[in-house]
Structure 1
Amino acid sequence: MSVFAWPIRVYFEDTDMAGVVYYANYLKFMERARTEWLRGLGFEQDRLKEEERLVFAVRSAEVDYLSPARFNDALVVESRVVRAGRASIAFAQEVLRDDDDKRVLLAQGRIKVACLDAQTFKPAAMPRLLLEAVNSVC
């Protein structure tokens, strides 16, 4: 199973009053990593919408928060495809920070995205080339 890693820097706007990353921002970090993963496969979401009439939407998300990230931390989001169907992709994602000589797991998520018709928002099959690209990294 292929792992896609995307670096993220924590900005002041990502933190809460306690000075740690606000919990919902981990979902944003994971979203950015999935977008970059898709781009790395050669597919842009705006082009999929315009040319294929397809969009992706999060169907379910489950996140475990294990350790806090703070302002200016350099993080990495690792994404793995767990399962790919004709109209959905299940991901396992981890947000990590390198501390000295060890990697610390901060949050882990299980995210399922659905492929939808951009006009009706009903499930739609991924184009053959996209599905083949996704399956090539499983």
Structure 2
Amino acid sequence: MITSNQPYQGHFTEIDGVQTHIFALRVYFEDTDFSGVVYHARYLHFMERARSDMLARADIDQAAAFAQGLGAYAVSAMDMKFHAPAHFDDALVVQSCVEKVGGASVHISQQIFRNETLLLSAQVRAAFVAPGGRPARQPAHWIKKFNQIAA
């Protein structure tokens, strides 16, 4: 019997004094290469889902901003370090923390864990981009929300 049609949602918690967004996921067969190891590009998908969910949980409505013609976020820089591989059927957790907030960008630190094992760490800069493709000032109330959850 289906009791809910709501998709999984992550949540914020404090870890070592820092507001951290937690997003859990499972590795499916489609995420792996022929050896059962997660294909490197799939980690980008995992981190994107976590960042999108983090924004939603912080009441930052990207879809509404886009529909109003304000713009949307685009990843402008990313630095990733792989520490250990994930495998088919692993339960993973993506931890995301807002590190720095600018007028037109936000810097987010992300880590992917399997239990206590760090698999990947990344530094991500997302720029707010106007419909014409140029950087634009992100909405003031978004900056305020980011600052509330920033490390």
TM range (shorter): over 0.9
Matched, 1:42 2:42: no
Provide runs of 4+ in structure 1 moved above 4 Å: none
| Counterpart pick for 2:73 among 21, 35, 56 | 56
Q: C-alpha deviations, 1:34-66, integer Å up to 9, x for none?
A: 000000011232112012521000101111111
Structure 1 residues not aligned, in runs of 5+: none
| Counterpart pick for 1:4 among 2, 15, 21 | 21
Matched, 1:81 2:98: yes
| Alignment correspondent of 2:32 | 15
Larger proportion of helix: 1
- Tell me which of the two structures has the higher relative contact order, counting C-alpha pairs closer than 8 angstroms and 6 or more residues apart: 1
Q: C-alpha deviations, 1:48-104, integer Å up to 9, x for none?
A: 201252100010111111111111111000001111101001111000011xxxx00
Identity %: 35
Structure 2 residues not aligned, in runs of 5+: 1-17
Matched, 1:91 2:108: yes
Query: Residues of 2 paired with 1:81 and 1:4: CA distance?
Result: 9
Query: Residues of 1 paired with 2:98 and 2:29: CA distance?
Result: 31
CA RMSD in angstroms comes to: 1.0
Q: C-alpha deviations, 1:14-45, integer Å up to 9, x for none?
A: 00112110001111111110000000011232
Query: Residues of 2 paired with 1:25 and 1:12: CA distance?
Result: 11
Q: C-alpha deviations, 1:81-129, integer Å up to 9, x for none?
A: 111101001111000011xxxx000000111110010x21101111111
Q: What count of residue pairs does the alignment treat as equivalent?
A: 133
Q: Which letter does structure 2 place at the counterpart of 1:5?
A: I
Query: Residues of 1 paired with 2:63 and 2:95: CA distance?
Result: 23
Structure 1 stretch displaced more, 45-54 or 3-12? 45-54
SS at 1:43 equivalent: coil
| Counterpart pick for 2:141 among 112, 129, 132 | 129
Query: Could you state the TM-score of these two structures normalised by the residue count of structure 2?
Result: 0.85
Query: Could you state the TM-score of these two structures normalised by the residue count of structure 1?
Result: 0.93
